Structure 1
């Protein structure tokens, strides 16, 4: 009997010890999981397939620097990237200034870096008003009553700042224009102006220079009417991203020194930015009705 009681007591103690061991499992499960992959979104300021191919070298670079998988996402339009960020489907996004101030109305995000422009040697670049070289339009004020092409409605240098320059010239959009066209991208706007499909258009200066250099656009067929400096495209992260990972991402940008990669990313180098750098874009977007745009 004593032996039997000893056996039962030993068995009960073993069960109790197993139970204690299991009680630690939930606590272990509560430990934060390491992020599987970094999801990076890019605005389609040109044809989406071109953008994804252009940034493949950057994806590989970032993946190596962070020692984790990096996935690229390019939507069919600017609002698609905003939607993806707002729905927590992206960790990092490359926005235009306008797209960023639109997105921050819906998502908890903040900018971290932007490119230093090779032309201006600052974090700012030019938005242009352009017209066919043979046109009688010679200044922004001459666009009144004409057919005008914007890029995507949420483009900073293809929509917001062209409106800003037109407004400064006393032209209200769309009331003072014969017709308004949204081409969807800077490359399409350049082609429309070159071919005379429209009388004038708004475009990013850097992209126009690239298109001319590639021979896609004939520079002799386009003239610049006016230009305005714009704060560079911000790389943005969601507020909830691990701070250590965010710091590594920022450092990865600051460390880029490969001339081929910098050229592909249209940058001399990269510099840190904050929300304050986009105060003008937000102010003008509110004034011109572009925080929640409708064509």
Structure 2
């Protein structure tokens, strides 16, 4: 009987001890929103920043510059950072929406789509010869009989036409609107051309035209001129037959978890960049400058006109 009472007493003591430990643990656990809990949030903010990059001129050409930029921003922000060049434009937008990418290099069209859908904000853009503008070009082989967009429209049935990525501003949206107004293009399936192809990036478009695989191509003026300057395409074999109105340059955009201080740090860091590997990777830039959502009002209106965005979206 004594042993049974002794065992019961031991079990009772252990149960009481367990309840006391649990109570102490709950007492020390921070409530949501308390200073202790915010410390955990701050620790989470020190996680790696992933910078997503659209393949404007192909992944290989942009990788070195993107990696170097990530290293600079990591040092300035005091956070780990790495860059990833995505295989297509829309992939970067979706990655931002999913919380996988915190900062991205976007085309103007992909930016306005990402802004409307996920609230990302433009903070920086590139300068080309000191100005934040570029154009959409139509290019053709130098010995081509086509000398203007009017020639392209008049002889569309003989022309193999190349766009870039379907979500490119200069490689798709802007020239597409011009050709729709001329009633020779509605979609890849419905048009009056001999064929319509989407090459995926500006380098591929330039090479396809140079090598005679396509008769006319839509391309970003800055990237085209940079490709010629770097000797990656032969400017003597290609001519420009149409130029759009000026377009505001590609933005770097961030998600809403960045503080005002971090955005200011990003802007100052990028404005100070002179590394040629970084500048050449992004359209042969001469530098970077500040950008804001208001700079892309004309692109937003063009996207609405083309049915890619709804008014007020």
Q: State the TM-score, normalized to the length of structure 1.
A: 0.85
Indicate the RMSD between aligned Cα atoms, in angstroms: 2.5
Deviation, structure 1 residue 259: 5.2
Distance 1:290 1:159 in 2: 12
Classify 1:152/1:264 alpha carbon distance in 2 versus 1 (closer, same or farther; 3 Å).
closer
Greater share of helix residues, 1 or 2? Answer: 2
Distance 2:213 2:274 in 1: 41
Question: What's the CA shift string for 1:22-75, capped at 9, x where partnerless?
Answer: 634414134322321111110111222332223222122112222221021222
Q: 1:161 aligns with which of 174, 178, 200?
A: 174
Q: 2:192 aligns with which of 165, 172, 176?
A: 176
Classify 1:128/1:64 alpha carbon distance in 2 versus 1 (closer, same or farther; 3 Å).
same
Q: Paired residues, what number?
A: 277
Q: 1:135 aligns with which of 144, 150, 153?
A: 144
The answer to whether the aligner puts 1:216 opposite 2:232 as a matched pair is: yes
Q: Which residue of the partner structure matches residue 204 of structure 1?
A: 220
* Mean Cα deviation higher: 246-255 or 94-103: 246-255
Distance 2:276 2:87 in 1: 29
1:1-295 matches, within 5 Å, as 23-26=27-30, 27=34, 28-31=36-39, 32-34=41-43, 35=45, 36-118=47-129, 121-144=130-153, 145=156, 146-167=159-180, 171-174=184-187, 175-228=191-244, 229-258=246-275, 261-265=278-282, 266-291=284-309
What's the secondary structure of 1:181's corresponding residue? strand
Whether the aligned pair in 1 keeps the contact of 2:65 and 2:278 (CA below 8 Å) is: no
Whether the aligned pair in 2 keeps the contact of 1:143 and 1:177 (CA below 8 Å) is: no
Classify 1:208/1:188 alpha carbon distance in 2 versus 1 (closer, same or farther; 3 Å).
same
Deviation, structure 1 residue 267: 2.3
Q: Which residue of the partner structure matches residue 11 of structure 2?
A: none
Question: What's the CA shift string for 1:100-153, capped at 9, x where partnerless?
Answer: 1122232121111101211xx321112211111111101001112122100000
Q: Which residue of the partner structure matches residue 10 of structure 2?
A: none
Structure 2: stretches of 5+ with no match in the other structure? 1-15
Distance 2:174 2:63 in 1: 25
Distance 2:100 2:269 in 1: 22
Whether the aligned pair in 2 keeps the contact of 1:186 and 1:207 (CA below 8 Å) is: yes
* Mean Cα deviation higher: 232-241 or 161-170: 161-170
What's the secondary structure of 1:55's corresponding residue? helix
Deviation, structure 1 residue 274: 1.4
Distance 1:222 1:80 in 2: 31
* Mean Cα deviation higher: 173-182 or 54-63: 173-182
Whether the aligned pair in 2 keeps the contact of 1:112 and 1:236 (CA below 8 Å) is: yes
Whether the aligned pair in 2 keeps the contact of 1:115 and 1:233 (CA below 8 Å) is: yes
* Mean Cα deviation higher: 91-100 or 239-248: 239-248
